[in-house]
Amino acid sequence: MTRTESSPRIGLARALSKRGYCSRSKAFDLIRAGRVTLNDRICRDPEAPVHSDRDRIEVDGEELAAQAKLYLMLNKPRGVVTTASDEKGRETVYACLDEHLPWVAPVGRLDKASEGLLLLTNDSEWAARVLAPETHLDKIYHVQIGALADAALIESITKGVRIGSASLLHAKSVQILRGGAKNTWLEIVLDEGKNRQIRRMLSQLGIDVLRLLRVAIGPVVLGDLPKGGSRSLTAQEKLALDRAMRQASAGRGRRLR
């Protein structure tokens, strides 16, 4: 007996997200409001199974075709939040984007007070690979601290800081970029993505963070992109990032054998 090949089934809300129409949380709202049809029937179940490559999905009567994949970088300004909407009414990163762009989602986050390189995409599988723990892409930050850095501070950050019962937080590397009379700019490299990691480490050491700017994710560099500006990744940047992720995953596989 021959088995017919078929695409794996996914939930309806996820299918809307994968086709680049909206975030999964927004998809839940649309589906529950009765605005989505699946194969010409209104479906109010966000988890209804869908064959993404052959089932017909419509939103408000318009058929949903897969969007072209977009890979963007944004120079996030200080003071905006990395979310699609904010319950406190604060400005979000979407205010920096062209309103005619298809829906894209941030790849990870930068907190409200942090600045710099943020990736956005409508390719949810690619975003998941960028964020996966096994990928271990280096993320480079330039951090202005309200103290004069010395060798002891650099050693403390690289050896690691334990906060309560949490796991050890540490940087892959730290170097002094420049110093003033009362503050220092550091370059801090992380190869893991724990929430507010740099701020938590430095706070535990009694150090104030004055500015925190992400300047690179793997081989993709912020460069001279103006604050609040965005652009598509070049083909070379996308290929370099994909190659770095493959190499990191392959290296981890060899270490585990």
Establish whether 123 is a catalytic residue. Answer: no
CA 58 to chain centre: 28
Q: Number of helices (H) and strands (E), helices first, in the chain?
A: 6, 15
Query: Can you tell me the distance from the alpha carbon of 200 to that of 180, in angstroms, rounded to the nearest whole number?
Result: 23
**Residues 6 or more apart whose Cβ sits within 8 Å of residue 8:** none
Selected catalytic residue, list 29, 45, 111, 150:
111
**Residues 6 or more apart whose Cβ sits within 8 Å of residue 99:** none
Query: Can you tell me the distance from the alpha carbon of 139 to that of 48, in angstroms, rounded to the nearest whole number?
Result: 38
CA 154 to chain centre: 27
Catalytic sites, residue numbers: 111
